[in-house]
Amino acid sequence: MLDRLGSGLKDALKKLAGKTVIDKAAVDELVRDLQRALLQADVNVKLVMGLSQSIKQRALDEEPPKGMGVREHVLRIVYQELVALMGNAAEVQLGPQTILMAGLQGSGKTTTTAKLARFFQRKGLRVAVVCADVFRPGAYDQLLHLCSQINVPCYGEPGNEDAVSIVKNGLAKHAGTEVVIIDTQGRHALEDDLIDEIIALNTLSKATHRWLVIDAALGQQARDQARRFHEAIQIDGVIITKMDGTAKGGGALSAVSETQSGIVFIGSGETIDDLERFEPNGFISRLLGMGDLKALVERAEEVIGDQDVDVNAMLRGKFSLRDMYKQMEAVKKMGPLKQVLGMLPLGGMDIPQDAFDVTSQKMERYRVVMDSMTPDELDNPSVISGSRIHRIALGAGAAPEEVRELLKYYKTMQRALKGMRGAGGKFNMQRMLKKFGGM
């Protein structure tokens, strides 16, 4: 749905493409499309109005820098304004700290608490959690269960209805632990006694961070709720949950702007590892339904050193299995395939959910198969004969069919790269993906 609006935005930008001077009507149209896109993404109405006003103003008043087209100029302003709105990604220190979780009922605090514990645990810190949700039945069982999966101690007192005393005992018990995360009961900002309770918890625990958990689907309410939570305990970070649905998380944006803090993490799945650090650029792109090519390129440059893949040799047609192996490694370093594809501007293309899993699983299998090849075979795949296939399959614990499938995949890749050379030597992502889709 938003993708369609995103394309509307692109159309509006297209109209600006040929122009040498900025056309007021075109800017108006662009801003209107932007407004609709943002409103549909649940960004607060007042925020949207303020934003569009300043974009319009800047687009008409500022001279585009030399060498920059009108379209890029306007697009840049849109980006800058949105980034400014969002603030920086909040810092996460890897040191001793106490974190207090706050949020509405059902926003995902308990699950996120366990995910956070996992995050810090993987960074090599000792973590413990305290369950101060004394209201919802089963809350302690849920947290205990999640924590036992990752061997994190969880303190709670089922039956005790005084959250403050539980936290007091819990903190005393986990005194030597580096990171203590306190899960609290869901509340909304109109429940005065619950707000008093969280203020008391904050004072008692002297929490280093007070993070507000926001459901990506939360609408215009986000702003008011965030403001009141902020007034009560000075929120210094926001975690958006349920970003794996179709919601765009615009409500969280309002929350961030209201609390003058940043987004710390994004929860994007049901398992305990589905927690991502936040990147403003990618988030804006998702908000507007435009691919995040910039981040993809940056990330690719970061992980693919020159020694890793010789792009030029590849484009000259010298593409061996060894290159493919390196390429797979590089893609793996860039993150799950799903994320990488999510960054590409594939607005119209619908990639089935399970296609990702199959593909990344397959990649892993291919790697194993290639591990079983000799250097000679890797450099010069044409020597691989029937008996060699048999040997490779035995070595990798795979069926000969799998090895043949790999070789077929390799040939497709090779053809795809040749095709790219044909297209003016430019990296033609769309085409490459189409080729992959045929696999």
Distance between CA atoms of residues 89 and 95, nearest Å: 18
Of the candidates 13, 75, 78, 139, which one interacts with other proteins according to CB under 8 A?
Answer: 139
Please report the sign of the dihedral spanned by the C-alpha atoms of residue 81, residue 293, residue 300, residue 246: positive
Candidates 27, 146, 198, 417; binder of other proteins (CB under 8 A) is: 146
Query: Closest CB to other proteins among 80 and 148?
Result: 148
Residue list 176-215, contact with other proteins (CB under 8 A): 188-190, 215
Sheet (strand 275-277) strand order: 154-155, 127-132, 179-184, 97-103, 209-215, 237-241, 263-267, 275-277
Of 415, 332, 412, 316, which Cα lies nearest the Cα of 367?
A: 332
CB of 249 to other proteins, least distance (A): 9
Of residues 379-408, those binding other proteins (CB under 8 A): none
Residue among 335, 347, 392 nearest 366 (CA): 392
d(CA 373, CA 325): 11
281 binds other proteins (CB under 8 A): no
Q: At what angle do helices 2-17 and 24-40 cross, to 10 degrees?
A: 170
Q: Does 1 bind other proteins (CB under 8 A)?
A: yes
Strands (E) in 259-350, as ranges, are: 263-267, 275-277
Q: Which is nearer to other proteins, 144 or 417 (CB)?
A: 144
* Alpha-carbon span 135 to 113, nearest angstrom: 17
Choices 170-178, 240-248, 255-263, 319-327 (CB under 8 A): range interacting with other proteins? 240-248
Give the dihedral of Cα atoms 139, 143, 146, 149; nearest 10 deg.
Answer: -130
Least distance (Å) from other proteins to the CB of residue 79?
22
Residues 6+ apart with CB under 8 A from 280: 83, 86, 88, 89, 263
Which segment (99-107, 312-320, 334-342, 398-406) binds other proteins by CB under 8 A? 99-107
* Binder among 4, 123, 145, 277 for other proteins (CB under 8 A): 145
- Minimum CB separation of residue 159 from other proteins in Å reads 11
DSSP-assigned beta bridge partners for residue 241: 215
> Interacting stretch for other proteins, rule CB under 8 A, among 39-47, 50-58, 79-87, 115-123?
39-47
Q: Check binding of 353 to other proteins (CB under 8 A).
A: yes
CB of 125 to other proteins, least distance (A): 23
Write out the two tokens for 330. 């590089």
CB of 109 to other proteins, least distance (A): 9
**Does 136 help bind other proteins (rule: CB under 8 A)?**
yes
Among residues 13, 127, 179, 218, the one that binds other proteins under rule CB under 8 A? 218
Beta bridge mates, 215: 241
Q: What tokens appear for 118 in the block?
A: 């996992």
- Given 192, 354, 424, 426, the residue binding other proteins (CB under 8 A): 354
Site residues (CB under 8 A) for other proteins?
1, 36, 39-42, 45-46, 104-108, 135-143, 145-146, 188-190, 215-221, 224-225, 242, 244-248, 250-251, 270, 352-354
